[in-house]
């Protein structure tokens, strides 16, 4: 039997449209996942998807097969409905619904020689997305978000991350808590600051390491600035790098050192 085609009158659909607003997402502790690529990575990483809505004219595809195997409810919808629930982004015929997971330090994976990236006070979904993408590529053990000023469950974060939201182990924590947790786990903490004397590349990053980057304007807060400071050399006239660029340069240097040591 074919699933029933949902209409705009359907209460579930109405609620789905409302979830484009942060207040509604937070009230229901739900999030939206746009597009096949992100949904595929979510499925591969056993993210608890509650349902997938798709354009009724979507051809048979691997994503729907996978979702069926995992017994995830699927709902075909008309073109008009899909345009509404996808916020006009109709080039990719899938929208997923999932609970907002709670990301805590305790759920980060254990690893003998971890490399953590800490991002404090992020303001823009696009920057968080770009950082997730670099964190995925560099293969960090986990990304710890401290005092985020951006909604980490914003669909734009997932879109900008190309789905790395589902591949990078995440934690949210206050800065004091995160610093203490890292110390308790014997991880050296390096805080990026233009005020630092030492270059990031002069530090041994092959031991258990956490690299902290701060928001563009405010920089890192006191708990991080009390740790070892490192700087990226600035040869130009513009006085700061974008936070996602800084994070990439720092974690790929750690990766380079780790590769050249093996």
When computed from its CA atoms, the radius of gyration of the chain, rounded to whole angstroms, is 20
Task: Please give the DSSP secondary-structure letter assigned to residue 215.
Answer: B
Residues 159-178 touching its own copies, rule: CB under 8 A, are 161-164, 167-168
Q: Are 224 and 118 in contact (CB under 8 A)?
A: yes
Q: How many residues bind its own copies (CB under 8 A)?
A: 40
Of 114, 133, 159, 205, the one binding its own copies (CB under 8 A) is: 133
Report the alpha-carbon distance of residue 132 to residue 157 in Å, rounded: 9
Q: Which stretch binds its own copies (CB under 8 A): 60-68, 81-89, 174-182, 254-262?
A: 254-262
Q: Are 191 and 227 in contact (CB under 8 A)?
A: yes
CB atoms within 10 A of CB 244: 23
Residue 209 interacts with its own copies (CB under 8 A): yes or no:
no
> CB 170 → its own copies: shortest distance, Å?
14
Q: Which stretch binds its own copies (CB under 8 A): 25-33, 74-82, 104-112, 229-237?
A: 229-237
Residue 252 interacts with its own copies (CB under 8 A): yes or no:
yes
> CB 37 → its own copies: shortest distance, Å?
9
- Tell me which residue of 112, 94, 164, 115 sits closest to 136, measured CA to CA: 164
> CB 239 → its own copies: shortest distance, Å?
9
Neighbour-count burial of 258, counting CB atoms closer than 10 A to its CB (0-12 exposed, 13-18 middle, 19+ buried) = middle
Q: Which stretch binds its own copies (CB under 8 A): 15-23, 83-91, 147-155, 156-164?
A: 156-164
Residues 182-201 touching its own copies, rule: CB under 8 A, are 199, 201
- Tell me which residue of 210, 218, 98 sits closest to 147, measured CA to CA: 218
Report the alpha-carbon distance of residue 53 to residue 199 in Å, rounded: 49
Binding mask 52-91 for its own copies (x = CB under 8 A): ----------------------------------------
Report the alpha-carbon distance of residue 120 to residue 111 in Å, rounded: 23
Label residues 163-197 b or e (16+ Cβ within 10 Å = b).
Answer: bbbbbbbbbbbebebbbebbeeeebbbbbbbeebe
Residue 238 interacts with its own copies (CB under 8 A): yes or no:
yes
Of 106, 235, 261, 262, the one binding its own copies (CB under 8 A) is: 235
- Tell me which residue of 92, 87, 138 sits closest to 116, measured CA to CA: 138
Q: Which stretch binds its own copies (CB under 8 A): 86-94, 100-108, 181-189, 247-255?
A: 247-255
> CB 61 → its own copies: shortest distance, Å?
19
Residue 41 interacts with its own copies (CB under 8 A): yes or no:
yes
Residues near its own copies (CB under 8 A): 41, 44-45, 126, 130, 133-139, 161-164, 167-168, 199, 201, 232-238, 240-242, 244-245, 248-249, 252-253, 255-256, 259-260
């Amino acid at each position: 039997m074919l699933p029933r085609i949902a209409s705009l009158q359907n209460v579930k659909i109405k609620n789905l449209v409302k979830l484009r607003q942060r207040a509604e997402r937070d009230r229901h502790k739900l999030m939206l996942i746009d597009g096949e690529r992100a949904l595929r990575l979510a499925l591969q990483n056993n993210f608890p998807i509650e349902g997938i809505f798709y354009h009724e004219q979507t051809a048979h595809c691997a994503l729907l097969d996978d979702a069926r195997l995992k017994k995830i409810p699927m709902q075909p919808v008309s073109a008009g409905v899909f345009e509404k629930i996808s916020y006009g982004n109709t080039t990719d015929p899938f929208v997923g619904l999932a609970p907002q997971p709670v990301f805590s330090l305790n759920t980060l994976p254990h690893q003998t020689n971890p490399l953590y990236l800490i991002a404090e006070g992020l303001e823009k979904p696009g920057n968080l997305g770009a950082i997730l993408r670099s964190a995925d590529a560099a293969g960090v053990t986990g990304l710890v978000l401290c005092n985020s000023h951006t909604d980490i469950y914003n669909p734009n974060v997932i879109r900008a991350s190309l789905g790395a939201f589902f591949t990078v182990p995440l934690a949210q924590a206050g800065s004091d808590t995160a610093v203490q947790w890292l110390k308790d786990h014997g991880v050296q903490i390096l805080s990026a600051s233009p005020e630092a004397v030492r270059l990031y590349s002069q530090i041994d990053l092959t031991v258990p390491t956490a690299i902290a980057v701060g928001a563009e304007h405010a920089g890192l807060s006191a708990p991080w600035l009390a740790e070892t400071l490192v700087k990226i050399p600035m040869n130009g006239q513009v006085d700061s790098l974008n936070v996602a660029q800084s994070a990439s340069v720092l974690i790929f240097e750690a990766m380079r050192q780790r590769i050249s040591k093996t």
